[in-house]
Amino acid sequence: MASVNKVILIGNLTKNPELRYTPKGTAVAEVGLACNRRYKVDNDLREEVTYIDITFWGAQAETVSKYLEKGRSVYVEGRLKLDQWDDKETGKKRSKLSVIGEICQFLGSRGSGDGPMGEGGGGSPQRSAPQQTASSPPPSTGSGPLQDEEEDDIPF
């Protein structure tokens, strides 16, 4: 049976990214995201905030850690991950639903305009690089998607 695990979020960071490295040297950045929902109840405007933990891996984790800070607006695509464990103090089963970030696009302005997104923010999404295995060819050094050599002859 087919299944889909896809999350799309826009919100503001609740804390600065926390960057760390695994024993094998892979970068891991954890951020908190607040997504607001506004709605009316009997002509009374209300707001509901959902707080979401997001984890980025590899080069994307380093980029997120370098350029993002608390309060910054971001667009994130990713997948849900459920962690389960036994609480050491109470012995009860615990669980936590979080997001593994796969795409991150910086929104708005950094304020000073001196980052990679320039004066108006925006820019293209930051995508995680595929994991390279011993049998796979090295990733492309170009900034765009991989292209066949024949496509380079098309004039635009």
Report percent pLDDT > 90 for the chain.
Answer: 61
Q: For residue 18, what is the enclosing H or E element?
A: strand 18-21
Q: Say what the pLDDT of residue 36 is.
A: 93
Is pTM beyond 0.85? Reply is no
Distance of CA 82 to the CA centre of its chain: 17
Q: Round the average pLDDT of the chain to a whole number and report it.
A: 77
What count of other Cβ atoms lies within 10 Å of the Cβ of residue 11?
Answer: 21
- Topology of domain 7-128, CATH: OB fold (Dihydrolipoamide Acetyltransferase, E2P) (2.40.50)
The answer to whether 29 touches 68, Cβ cutoff 8 Å, is no
Q: Say what the pLDDT of residue 93 is.
A: 93
Of the candidate ranges 1-5, 46-50, 123-127, the one whose mean pLDDT is the lowest: 123-127
Write the CB contacts of 66 (distance below 8 Å, at least 6 apart in sequence).
none
Question: Could you give the C-alpha distances from 106 to 37, 50, 74, 88, in angstroms and in order?
Answer: 20, 20, 5, 38
Q: Say what the pLDDT of residue 108 is.
A: 77
Q: Does the pLDDT value for residue 116 go beyond 90?
A: no
Q: What is the pLDDT of residues 76-87, one digit of tens each?
A: 999 999 999 998
Q: What is the pLDDT of residues 25-44, one digit of tens each?
A: 999 999 999 999 999 999 89
